[in-house]
Structure 1
Amino acid sequence: MAPRIASPEEIRKRKACLVLPFLDREVDFPLPFVPVSHLLNIPPHQNLQVIFHKNDPLEASFSLIGVDAAIANAFRRILIAEIPSLAIEFVFIHNNTSVIHDEVLSHRLGLVPLKGSLDGINWMTWFRMPQEGEEDSASVASDHNTIVLKLNAECTKNPNASPDEEDPTVLYNNAHVYARDIVFEPVGRQTTFFSGPDGEIQPSNPDILLAKLRPGQKIDIEMHCIKGIGQDHAKFSPVATASYRLLPDIQITRPILGDDAVKFANCFPPGVIGIEHVTADEAEQKGTGYEGHKGEKKAVVVDPFKDTVSRECLRHEEFKDKVKLGRIRDHFIFNIESVGQFNSDLLFIESVKVLRLKCARLKRNVAALADMTDINPV
């Protein structure tokens, strides 16, 4: 017997999860999509859509529609922890007479986000810490796996400063040491891959304050940068944040008119609910709830995308049984903030590449396991 095919209205209802007025139970129990296929050979997502709402170099917002929550969460976790990026790993302190301890200063330097030529970063290979008695090419610092940065700053008095001056940045030279003071020193083939004002390895934000110095204090440091992933340390994470939320769903089940419509609109962020007037045609139609209310104000849903699902409207008795709040299960609104090494939209593409590699690796392992099972049946 062939399975029953659900109607479009039933599918729409199952895609929306109801938001209840009680904080101890935000949504109802999630029901699966219908019709559901449990075959291992699942066809590609035919309804998959990616719609960008904002695409700036450091921040992107887009909708991922038509996928399961497991896929959306996989992208989020990959963005945070599995996209390779460049960061300071080894700090060699030749001289540090500032008030900041060596360990604290090293930690601050490691967290400075870096940027440079993406071709050069992709050209670099992984650096692996050498084991005792091991000599491996991947364990030796070279031009293809290590970037060298230097920081050399010394504070001196400014002879041209006014005797009444109190600002230390005017009284002294190099009173504040910023990330812009970090200098990139290319080695070997790095001059080819990391060249030009935008191609050189440099801090993403040059105004990060690293230390404060006073006359006689000096910092002389050499830093080695390697590739890593956020799973190993947060400094390798290429995003400041990567998150998603479900698209809000607002359904006005019974007309909200007059002053109640204005109050209802004030329960939501601006732009979510609009105020219109009941037309003559609506006032003449029976069963709509607008009979005899020609010209009165009515509340209509304008843009649920801007809603934050605060439940404010559910706290008022006059709106009881007139509105249903929910969220669309397969409509994920992503927000990605890059730290500067990659553009925000490119980060999502990189996460897709990583997921494809994971799927290919799993497919190979499953095939190898199947071959072993055929040879040595259990």
Structure 2
Amino acid sequence: MAISTVFMNDNTSVMQDEVLCHRLGLIPIKADADDFEDLPPAGENGRSRTDFTDKNAIKFNLKVECPSLATLQKMAGNKKVEYLTVYSKSLEMEPLGKQADLPAGKQGLVHDDIILIKLAPGQRVDCECYATKGIGETHAKWSPVCTAAYRMRPQITFPAPVTGEDAERLRGTCPMGVFDIEDLAGTPTLVVGNDLNCTMCRECIRLPENRDLVKLNVIRNDFIFSVESTGCVPAPTLLPRALRVLKEKCATIVKEIETIETGGERMELEKPIEMGEEEMDEE
């Protein structure tokens, strides 16, 4: 869910309407997109307020006006302030239809400290915002993922036990704290504390005296997949949903292939047709 339509009633700030609308669209919205329907296509005259219902949208109102300079400084504790900073918390949700019956906090904003605009004394902004359902392919504001990346799992081994000064030196060379020292059979011995912290920076084998003490490799069939969410959808929920979409796409492809085969557009031959040179030339 993301703000896709804004009805701008008034904007006397220095920021253009389209720039402010773009900033509003990038605010993460806390809501389950599965609870909403897709917005119907717009009419010839564009969108109207009647297009948005409790089944396909979430409404927010933004009404902010910067007071006089004296009042502004009084609000700031008599500090020298020349403008009013408007944060995302100024967006007030207005329930549509049955949304008023939902538990408090189920729908709203993920963050309330995002700076939207700065207003000088006398400037004001008044607009109605509607968040609707969409996908990241249409616009990045509908993508619930900040970053998604994978790497192969590091494999760190010791050809022989590393003890004493070698263990202390090798542990100190790793900036990620991968190594640890444990008491094994009464001898302080270097062990791998957390291999997932290893970034393969190779700092531990930069010194010539360390290169024979530890070996770095990767496990080529073991991957670490990292997903960072914008906050609108929890990260543990994103991967199963993405796999569900991928499964649906694969099922659609299989169905289309079966349709083509059933329609006779694709014909399987029991054996290849053998043609002579004259027949091939004619073809």
| Paired residue total | 264
Aligned to 1:177, which of 77, 83, 86? 86
Q: Distance in 2 between matches of 1:111 and 1:163?
A: 28
Contact in 2 for aligned 1:249/1:328 (Cα 8 Å): yes
Alignment counterpart, residue 299 of structure 1, candidates 147, 167, 190: 190
Distance change >3 Å, CA 164–CA 125, structure 1 → 2: closer
Which residue pairs with 2:59 in the alignment?
Answer: 148
- Whether the 8 Å contact between 1:269 and 1:307 is mirrored in structure 2 is no
Distance in 2 of aligned mates of 1:208 and 1:303? 35
In 1, Cα distance between equivalents of 2:131 and 2:188: 63
- Map residues 307-322 of structure 1 onto 2, 5 A cutoff: 307-322=198-213
* Contact 2:88–2:116 under 8 Å retained in 1: yes
> What stretches of structure 2 of length at least 5 have no aligned partner?
270-283
CA distance in 2, matches of 1:160, 1:235: 36
> CA separation of 1:272/1:235 partners in 2, compared to 1, >3 Å: closer, same or farther?
same
Secondary structure, aligned partner of 2:105: coil
Residue pairs, 1:227-306, within 5 angstroms: 227-269=133-175, 271-276=177-182, 279=185, 298-306=189-197
1:5 aligned partner:
none
- Aligned counterparts, 1:7-46, within 5 A: none
Match of residue 35, structure 2, among 123, 130, 155: 123
The structure 2 residue matched to 1:198, chosen from 105, 120, 124, is: 105
**Alpha-carbon distance between aligned partners in 1 of 2:2 and 2:76, rounded to the nearest angstrom:** 42
The answer to whether the aligner puts 1:109 opposite 2:24 as a matched pair is yes
CA 1:350–1:210: 2 relative to 1, 3 Å = same
Higher relative contact order by CA 8 Å / sep ≥ 6: 1 or 2? 1
Distance, in Å, in 1 between the alignment partners of 2:174 and 2:72 is: 60
The Cα of 1:154 is off from its aligned counterpart by: 1.1
Tell me the residue number matched to 2:279: none
Contact 1:92–1:223 (CA<8 Å) still a contact in 2? yes
- Counterpart pick for 2:241 among 350, 354, 368: 350
- Selected match of 1:161 from 61, 74, 90: 74
Distance in 2 of aligned mates of 1:257 and 1:362: 58
Question: Does the CA contact (< 8 Å) of 2:260 and 2:266 recur in 1?
Answer: no
Q: For residues 164 and 187 of structure 1, what CA distance do their matches in structure 2 show?
A: 38
Aligned match of 2:281: none
Query: Conserved in 2, the CA contact under 8 Å of 1:126 and 1:227?
Result: yes
CA distance in 2, matches of 1:203, 1:228: 17
Out of 86-95 and 333-342, give the one that drifted further.
333-342
Answer whether contact 1:254 1:321 (CA < 8 A) is retained. no
**Local SS of the residue matching 1:127:** coil
Give the Cα separation in 1 of the matches to 2:241 and 2:94.
28
CA contact (8 A) 2:3 2:130 kept: yes
1:355–1:151: structure 2 CA closer, same or farther, 3 Å change rule? same
Does 353-362 or 156-165 show the bigger shift? 156-165
The 1:162–1:333 alpha-carbon spacing in structure 2 relative to 1, beyond 3 Å, is: closer
125-134 or 351-360, which moves further after superposition? 125-134
Which of 226, 230, 234 in structure 2 is aligned with 1:339?
230
Residue type of the alignment partner of 1:196: P
What is the root-mean-square deviation of aligned Cα atoms in Å? 3.2
Question: Cα offset for 1:152?
Answer: 0.9
**What is the CA–CA distance in structure 2 between the aligned matches of 1:164 and 1:350, rounded to whole Å?**
48
Give the AA of the match of 2:65.
Answer: E
Extract unaligned runs of 5+ from structure 1.
1-85, 135-139, 280-294
* Structure 1 residue runs of 4 or more that deviate by more than 6 Å after TM superposition: none
Tell me the secondary structure at the aligned position of residue 161 of structure 1.
helix
Q: Structure 1 375/303 Cα, relative in aligned 2: closer, same or farther at 3 Å?
A: closer
Give 1:57's aligned residue. Answer: none
| Structure 2 residue matching 1:228: 3-state secondary structure | coil
SS of corresponding position for 1:196: coil
TM-score (norm 2): 0.79
Equivalent in the alignment of 1:71? none
CA distance in 2, matches of 1:232, 1:302: 44
Rounded Cα–Cα distance in structure 1 between residues aligned with 2:148 and 2:266: 45
Q: State whether residues 73 and 79 of structure 2, in contact with CA within 8 Å, keep that contact through their aligned partners in structure 1.
A: no
Residue 217 (structure 2) pairs with residue 326 (structure 1): yes
- Kindly provide the amino acid, as one letter, of the partner of residue 126 in structure 1: D
Q: What code does the residue aligned with 2:90 have?
A: D
Identity %: 36
**Contact 1:269–1:306 at 8 Å: present in 2 too?**
no
Residues 73 and 80 in structure 2, CA contact (< 8 A), matched pair in contact too:
no
Normalized against structure 1, the TM-score is what? 0.61
